[in-house]
A and B are shown apart, each in its own frame.
Chain A
Amino acid sequence: MSFLEYAPAPESTGLLNLRENYGHFIGGEFVDGSGESFASISPSTEKHIATFAAGTDEDVNRAVVAARKAYDSVWSKLSGADRGKYLFRIARLIQERARELAVAETLDNGKPIKETRDADIPLAAAWFFYYAGWADKLDYAGMGANPRALGVAGQIIPWNFPLLMLAWKIAPALAAGNTVVLKPAETTPLTAMLFAEICQQADLPAGVVNIVTGAGATGRAIVEHPDINKIAFTGSTAVGRGIARTLAGTGKKLTLELGGKGANIVFDDAPIDQAVEGIISGIFFNQGQVCCAGSRLLVQENVHDEVVDRLKTRLGTLRLGDPLDKNTDIGAINSKVQLERITALVAKGEAEGGERWSAACEIPEKGFWFAPTLFTGVQTSNTVARDEIFGPVLSILTFRTPAEAIAKANNTPYGLSAGIWSDKGSRILAVADKLRAGVIWANTFNKFDPASPFGGYKESGYGREGGIQGLSAYLEGGVR
């Protein structure tokens, strides 16, 4: 064993107490679905985890009826202080069961345990803790006195941060006084079901949180349900467009967190060591399956070679493998479908003349894997510079002046995130002003916090999650 080699240190899955079959969570109970079922597998081993119900229109309707009843009879009559206490309870229960949730999330999603343990799960708990405190302070949400809840919220979340996205959706909705019907992604329903157990442990009134599992058809049933007052969706821009069309004319409030093609701008005076770490966390965190990933590196021409060399050296030290191993940096791609998409886009990048470099890693036999990959010599018109790849693939472009960096960064229909690396504060402020993106990280990347609003410009969607803005997305009215 040489330096930088480690003995395997996997987290035990022994602390999980999973069922073989999960139904939906409706009206405070686990209930059987009325349709087919599907299996969730571990993307790192392709081993079966458990079976879940594919929600039908009928299942969704049952969940909406339960949510409406809970809204009318219990939740809307409860004081804000009591709603907050339930949310505080949930935050604490997530903290207590943090390790179990981290293991379950890694098993189901394929991301490294160090990410679920240090980011996903603690942030999910923090989200509930933050919004718990808002529940009895809605008069200060910026909408005037006595703002009202919307009613029943339908929420559809993606597979890249399963429990964290659930928290982003459910915590503000409940704090504002709504009840919810939530659909987790079909490849990652496990932690949502563990969250349902947490709702039971917290003694949350039946029907306040309802979880219906399934794929696109289940999501469509939620979007089209006439008795839902608000839709919140995180996912692809294509699906988001469809939802916006469906809701046209209904007057329902809509929050869309969609795709991105974030620019990470590195000026020549940047602290290069930190920038290299930030570039790597920007695009290889969660295997790049992050809507706000810094997937376009814009590096000032005179430091291009140095930055690329250092990136390659650093990527060479990353460990790809068993996501449950505490020393793993790069886990599995979430699904076969996603792996095929990444593979196809990378092939296109090569065909269009980009120069590909992939880290030399041993790819496990089973499961879905993609080695960290860089493209140099990328033109702004190349597919890998325009399309969201949602994988561990970084496209590197160069610039000479701040104005060129800004123009290239903004040259996308998306507008979710951007990064700026420079030692000069005045330049950071000036560049940040000009970037058309909802979240900008200066000398850091991929930082999230419940107090910090998150969401996009342009085709990255509308509405914000997190902070006071994320609360008002679930409120209406208010007297100024």
Chain B
Amino acid sequence: MSRLAVPKTYKLFIGGKFPRSESGRVYEILSTKGDFVANAALASRKDLRDSVVAARSALSSWSGATAYNRGQVLYRIAEVLEGRRAQFIEEIVSVEGATAAAAAKQVDDAIDLWVWYAGWADKYTQVAGNANPVSGPYFNLSVPEPTGVVAVIAPQASGSLLGLVSVIAPVLAGANTVVAVPRFDAPLTAISFAEVLATSDVPSGVVNIITGKPAELAPWFASHADVNALDLAGAGDLDWVDLQIAAAETLMRVLPPVEGVPAASLARITAFTETKTVWHTKSLI
């Protein structure tokens, strides 16, 4: 006799907790064959605003942690993800219709991407920062600092896990906190990934994941005065020019949409940093 399975309730991930949408809304996730798989929470504006509050609260301690510590936390994500490979492969096969081999490759690539960005956490400052030989008795140093709270729209037509990781990881490597909207029609991996984050020493609020419609949520990001940067990687099918126009109101930093999954790059880290230059006076001896 076969055992009756216990299905998971897929919820949001805000401030380290897994709440349902305050709106009470859900939407159906179907397998590629059209079978019901799960109900996902359909995030509202209020959920989004709560996420931004959580991300803002987490910023000071995350950006104040040592770079070595942040690197270890990111590496830990890779470790925990590796341990749950099978679950992610199953979710990808069921909802995205990928072959088992393709799904496995997507998960492996996502794990390896965490390892790559983890390694950058304590290095990008050395590569993107510089000592400046100014004319005068000053010690003058430029360093890249986190931009702050970053909202991201994950790729909507590429592998759901790899797409999400490719936009979240560089933001975290740069010591920012993030609110992410994952792929709308394949959000299961995103919420399972939130469980990975919750067990990976990532402090509460550093990553917030809200499943929902990018077209509904993105304008609230663009007009949110406490969002410092907006990554429109997966917003190519939206009226993203209007989003960029709205974001100009607060001079929010905006990254335009990309085709597919953004390539791993140092530029993705530095895109969410601000150069701070400090002039220290030297005494005349």
Please list the residues of chain A having a beta carbon within 8 angstroms of any beta carbon in chain B: 126, 142, 237, 240-242, 244-245, 248-249, 251, 256, 258, 413, 415, 425, 428, 432, 437-444, 447, 449, 451-455, 457-462, 464, 467-469, 480
Contacts and interface: CB of A to CB of B under 8 A. Distances in A.
Contact of B277 (A415, A438, A459, A462): A438
A246 B244 CA distance: 10
A452 B134 contact: yes
B220 interface: no
A464 B277 CA distance: 10
B135 A455 contact: no
B29 to A, nearest CB: 32
26 contacts: A241-B249, A248-B254, A249-B245, A256-B251, A413-B250, A439-B276, A439-B277, A440-B278, A440-B279, A442-B280, A443-B281, A444-B281, A447-B134, A449-B140, A451-B134, A452-B134, A452-B142, A454-B277, A457-B147, A458-B251, A459-B250, A462-B253, A467-B130, A467-B132, A468-B130, A469-B142
B262 interface: no
A437 B276 contact: yes
B80 interface: no
Contact of B251 (A240, A442, A452, A454): A240
* Interface core residue of A142, A249, A258, A425 (most chain B CB under 10 Å): A249
A455 B251 CA distance: 13
B135 A142 contact: no
A443 B139 CA distance: 12
A142 B128 contact: yes
B256 interface: yes
A455 B136 contact: no
* Interface core residue of A240, A413, A460, A462 (most chain B CB under 10 Å): A462
Nearest to A451: B132
* Interface core residue of B132, B136, B240, B278 (most chain A CB under 10 Å): B278
Contacts of B65: none
Interface string B115-138: 000000000000110101111101
B35 interface: no
Contacts of A464: 275
B281 A442 contact: yes
Given A237-B251, A454-B277, A249 B128 contact: no
A236 B240 CA distance: 26
B274 A438 contact: yes
Given A453-B142, A458-B228, A469-B142, A444 B132 contact: no
Given A258-B251, A452-B142, A462-B253, A447 B279 contact: yes
Given A449-B140, A452-B140, A444 B279 contact: yes
For the residues of B in contact with A, the DSSP-based class is mixed
Contacts of B86: none
A61 B33 CA distance: 58
Contacts of A458: 228, 250-251
B142 A459 contact: no
* Interface core residue of A244, A443, A460 (most chain B CB under 10 Å): A244
B136 A449 contact: yes
B150 to A, nearest CB: 14
A437 B279 CA distance: 12
Contact of B278 (A142, A442, A461, A480): A442
A444 B245 CA distance: 38
B134 A249 contact: no
B248 interface: yes
A244 B254 CA distance: 10
B204 to A, nearest CB: 22
Interface in B210-246: 228, 240-242, 244-245
B228 A447 contact: no
A193 to B, nearest CB: 28
A342 B96 CA distance: 62
Nearest to B248: A244
A441 B250 contact: no
A245 B244 CA distance: 7
Contacts of B279: 439-442, 444, 447, 452
Contacts of B278: 432, 439-442
